[in-house]
Amino acid sequence: MPYIRLETTESVAPEQRASLCARLSRLVAQGTGKPEAYVMVVVEDGLTMLHAGAPGPAAFAEVRSIGGLSSQANRALAQGLCGLLAEALGVPGERIYLNFAEVEAGCWGHDGTTFG
């Protein structure tokens, strides 16, 4: 908790996958102020997506967290995520959608219990 799920049209080479996951993990930990030890990253690549009625490079990233998300934090995360995805995958910012969701502690489970 936090959790980031990236879905993208772009294929991530096996040698790039670990680096991309690590960069996403650090960025989300820093952006939410949470320990990286609690961050989970999922990357789904090579997907078929249509954005603005047209095929091409695109991405959707969902960030969920118990606390740590706010208008200010989300704007900073949006800037960082879009910059990272443009640099690492070649997806232009105008073809990236992001979703930020606060989750109640009692609605997030881990290791046989919940956080709240």
Task: Please give the full DSSP string across 1-39, using - where no structure is assigned.
Answer: --EEEEEESSPPPHHHHHHHHHHHHHHHHHHHT--GGG-
Within 10 Å of residue 92's Cβ, how many Cβ atoms? Answer: 13
Length of the chain: 116
- Catalytic residue, candidates 2, 14, 35, 57: 2
Give the pairing of strands 109-110 and 113-114.
Answer: antiparallel
Q: Of 68, 78, 8, 85, which is closest to residue 34 (Cα–Cα)? A: 68
Which two structure tokens, joined as six digits, stand for 56? 């091409």
- 2 among known catalytic residues: yes
pLDDT at residue 12 in the model: 95
Check if the beta carbon of residue 42 is closer than 8 Å to that of residue 7. no
Distance of CA 101 to the CA centre of its chain: 11
pLDDT at residue 1 in the model: 85
Mean pLDDT to the nearest integer, 72-77 = 97
pLDDT at residue 80 in the model: 97
Phi-psi region of 26 (alpha: psi -120 to 50; beta: other; left: phi over 0): alpha
Mean pLDDT to the nearest integer, 30-56 = 96
Provide the 8-state DSSP code for 53.
T
pLDDT band at 87 (very low <50, low <70, confident <90, very high): very high
Residue appearing with tokens 């606060």: 102
pLDDT at residue 65 in the model: 97
